Structure 1
């Protein structure tokens, strides 16, 4: 930690390592909802919670800071600070595919969302995919920026325009 960061107290820790996936995100977002502006909690997890970061970035842009205190490999600690009030209620469902899911396919409908929300949700969803699994994401337009990012991350993908003008994007984790 840098000198400007104060040491978190024990009550600020939220250890979700033993919490089931179905309960994990609702618990984290409940803690976030109860957090006053200027306060924080430290999330303790057994894997990098980067999909959660994308969820926060999509739902609460500019309202939080995200600071890694411990970065694995077996334990991750992230200090999440509320720096602004928010109006929207958080989504409390687990990410597509679930935590460490071994499902071979997840489906995400990102139609009707304004950019960059579809990309943020798809990026969060692909972080949860098991090796060899795929995500089928529906979008209103061809996600050209997403496709370039998938190329840099080594995902295989295909995009096909549908009869209604939307796009079906199939993304596979290698």
Structure 2
């Protein structure tokens, strides 16, 4: 079981790693500047577009979602409405429940804020690998996805 200090240190490490990864995505691919995003579910992709033209195609997996109105986080593996081929990678985070002693990694849904969604996305980046994360807003919900690769369209 991890101590509070170990948990805080690990989250800080993951958040720092994510910040560096996000800066690299912004520098190399102009992340955050596109007008819209769309999912290409059959190809496990997130497409960023501007002026109606696809610009970037990202290979992704779903990590978790947060909902402001209920103050909750749901792991992608626990959301049966999402395609399994896009959620199965998130199952790799359940082992953290045993390692850390924190049951949040094994509960499909738990009380959480958007900030905790970012923290779980940063942990996913650290544990599962990838080159960054993206938060897909939808009303009062946010879907956090792990970016595995990026290519220009």
More helix per residue: 2
TM-score by length of 1: 0.24
Higher-RCO chain (CA-CA 8 Å, sequence separation at least 6): 2
Structure with higher strand content: 2
> What TM-score does the superposition give when structure 2 sets the normalisation length?
0.26
**Larger Cα-atom Rg:** 1
